[in-house]
């Protein structure tokens, strides 16, 4: 879902503000908010479906799993390269 929003915003960005810069950070922050809102809604769905429908419960859990991954990916994209390198476990890829 995050990639969808990024693609959407990139497509709908104004063609230029005269500076030639587009604020990717703002796009990522907005995408993060959408992901978090989705996460809240799937948690609500899980809460309301518990002990009523295993099928819906499983769907909600699967979507929560996916949304949590998306949130983590966006957080990584928002990190500075230095922070990301500090938190990276394992040999740092050189190229």
In DSSP notation, 2-65 reads HHHHHHHHHHHS-S--SS----HHHHHHHHHHHHHHHHHHHHHHHHHHTTT-HHHHHHHHHHHH
Among 62, 70, 76, 94, binds Fe ion (CB under 5 A): 70
Complex with Fe ion: residue 10 or 54, whichever CB lies closer: 10
**In the bound complex, what is the minimum distance in angstroms from residue 82's beta carbon to Fe ion?**
27
Among 1, 40, 54, 79, binds Fe ion (CB under 5 A): 1
Contacting residues toward Fe ion, per CB under 5 A:
1, 35, 67, 70
């Amino acid at each position: 879902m995050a990639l969808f929003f990024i693609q959407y915003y990139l497509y709908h960005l104004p063609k230029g503000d005269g500076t030639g810069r587009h604020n990717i950070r703002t796009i990522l922050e907005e995408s993060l908010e959408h992901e978090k809102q989705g996460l809240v809604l799937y948690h609500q769905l899980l809460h309301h479906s518990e002990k009523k429908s295993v099928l819906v419960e499983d769907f909600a859990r699967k979507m929560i799993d996916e949304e949590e991954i998306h949130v983590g990916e966006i957080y990584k994209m928002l990190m500075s390269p230095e922070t990301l390198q500090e938190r990276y476990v394992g040999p740092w890829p050189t190229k």
